[in-house]
Amino acid sequence: MTQARDHDGDPRPTRLFGPRPAMTGPLLPVLITVVIGLVTLLGGAGTTWLPLLAAAPALAATTQGPRGVLGVGLLAAGLGVALGSRDGSGGAALVAVPAAVLAVTAASALAGALRSRRERVLADVRSVAEAAQHALLKPVPATVGPFEAAVRYSAAAAEARIGGDLYALVPTPYGVRMIVGDVRGKGLPAVGTAALVLGVFREAAYDEPDLLAVVDRIERSLARNLGVDDFVTAVIAGCPRPGVLEVVNCGHAPPLLVRASTRIEAVEPVPPAPPLGLRALTEQTPGLQELSFADGDQLLLYTDGVIEARDRDRAFYPLVEGLERHLSDEPSRTLGAIHEELLAHVGGRLHDDAALLLIRKPLPAPLPPSQLAFPATALDDLAG
């Protein structure tokens, strides 16, 4: 499984430990046993190579269960007895090799059983994490209200499906509303805080006509539940009516607004506001910015895991330049290209969670030729 988890990508499951090559299944330990037997048989080296038969069950333990390990071990022990007897070995010399092979087989079978148990536990944890992902970070459809939309989310923790970054895009009676945020910290506490923020947002987005009231609901909930050092940076946006975009920025990275002319603007917060959960420590309150959002415009929300991703030379990923390179009329294709470029920039593994949410107001469909032609009555009127 790759480090990045694409919530809009291929839903097919992947192995916890990557695909197993064909040669690392039951074939390789048996092949090693046969090769050692042939070398001993054809080389006339007596029992010199027979102790290497213990490598076969040890290797089998890395890919097989206890039954497979025992099968390989018994084959190797039997071959050791047969070759030792053929060369005239007797007494302790004849017993030593099979005994060593059987001892390694017993230890390897136990190790294989423990490994299989750990894999089952990891698979169970993975299934729970996937269920939590779908409950917490719900998939975003390709069309939400009048907008086209796409999401890419990457959890930095190995085998994780969710982390401290959060997003949601919901249609409400007051227009489409969205949030992208970043919880301070990592691990399960961050996931719990993200779940809290998303739950309050989804409820308030349907109830509150004013976007600032939605932000206030989240702030009050976090003030009751977070520690003094905890906070959440977030951008909450909405489109209350056609052609209008509302943005509230609470200490988060500025969204990128792409005009239909492909001009990219960073929506800087005016005035700057503290992150969610810290309002009581300052006298600043978030302000609502109202911008135009015409046909063909796009809005990109993201977390700092994207813009703070570094390459080997410690250079940050240039998100604006990446958006310019990969901008298209399909949000999923745009984010897919940026996502792949981001992973290539960091060498395949992110060190922080990263989320990208892109919406686009599509251009109106052109009228069919039949509706563009003048009706016959209109031509008669013009002729008259």
pLDDT digits (tens, 9 = 90+) for 92-145: 656 777 777 788 888 878 887 887 888 888 777 766 666 666 667 788 899 999
Establish if 83 belongs to a structural domain: yes
Residues 159 and 226 in one domain: yes
CATH of the domain at 236: 3.60.40.10
CB-CB contact of 346 with 4 (8 Å): no
Residues 284 and 164 in one domain: yes
Residues 95 and 169 in one domain: no
Examine the fold and report which residue of 73, 99, 131 is the final residue of a domain before the chain moves on: 131
Residues 259 and 150 in one domain: yes
Establish if 42 belongs to a structural domain: yes
Examine the fold and report which residue of 99, 131, 163 is the final residue of a domain before the chain moves on: 131
Residues 218 and 351 in one domain: yes
Strands 244-250 and 165-172, by their bridges, are unpaired
Query: How many structural domains are present in the chain?
Result: 2
pLDDT of residue 174: 95
Establish if 229 belongs to a structural domain: yes
Establish if 306 belongs to a structural domain: yes
In the structure, how many helices (H) and strands (E) does the chain have?
A: 11, 11
Residues 152 and 123 in one domain: no
Residues 103 and 145 in one domain: no
254 DSSP assignment: P
The Cα-based distances of 346 to 4, 271, 305, 338, 349 in angstroms read 11, 33, 11, 12, 6
Establish if 376 belongs to a structural domain: no
pLDDT of residue 384: 52
Establish if 310 belongs to a structural domain: yes
Establish if 90 belongs to a structural domain: yes
Establish if 78 belongs to a structural domain: yes
CB-CB contact of 238 with 175 (8 Å): yes
Residues 205 and 74 in one domain: no
Residues 267 and 153 in one domain: yes
To the question of pTM greater than 0.75 for the whole model, the response is no
Residues 118 and 27 in one domain: yes
Residues 337 and 243 in one domain: yes
In the chain, which residues have pLDDT < 70?
1-26, 43-49, 84, 86-94, 126-135, 156-163, 367-384
CB atoms under 10 Å from CB of 301, counted, come to 27
Q: Provide the residue type at 313 as one letter.
A: D
Quote the CA–CA distance of 384 and 382 in Å, as a whole number. 5
pLDDT digits (tens, 9 = 90+) for 241-297: 999 999 999 999 999 999 987 789 999 998 888 999 888 888 788 899 999 999 999
Residues 112 and 172 in one domain: no
Domain holding 95, by residue range, is: 22-131
Examine the fold and report which residue of 99, 114, 131 is the final residue of a domain before the chain moves on: 131
